[in-house]
Amino acid sequence: MAEEAEETTPEVTAKPPIMLAFIVGLVGAAIGGGGAFVAISQMPPPQAAPVEEAVEEDAEPEASFADRVHALDPFVVNVSGEGYPRYVKLSLAFEMDSPASKEELEAHIAKVRDLTILLISSKRLADIEDFEGKALLKDDLRERVNAVISKGNVESVLFTEFVVQ
In the chain, the percentage of residues whose pLDDT exceeds 90 is 33
Question: What pairs with residue 93 in β-bridges?
Answer: 71, 158
pLDDT score at 122: 87
Q: Per residue in 76-114, pLDDT tens?
A: 988 887 777 888 899 999 999 889 988 998 999 999 999
- Find, among 134, 160, 137, 16, the residue nearest to 74 by Cα: 160
- Cα first-last separation, the chain: 106
Residue 47 clears pLDDT 60, i.e. is over it: yes
Instruction: Supply the pLDDT for residue 85.
Output: 80
Pairing of strands 85-96, 75-80: antiparallel
CB 155 within 8 A of CB 97: yes
Nearest to 153 by CA among 98, 116, 113: 98
Q: What is the pLDDT of residue 50?
A: 60
pLDDT in tens, 18-29: 777 778 777 877
Task: Supply angle C-alpha 81, 85, 91, rounded to 5.
Answer: 85
Instruction: Give the contacts of 55 (CB within 8 A, at least 6 positions apart).
Output: none
Span 59-70, average pLDDT: 76
Question: Which 3 state secondary structure label does DSSP give 70?
Answer: strand
Band of pLDDT at residue 55, cut at 50, 70 and 90:
very low
Give the closest residue to 79 by CA, choosing from 137, 6, 34, 25: 137
Residue 53 pLDDT more than 70?
no
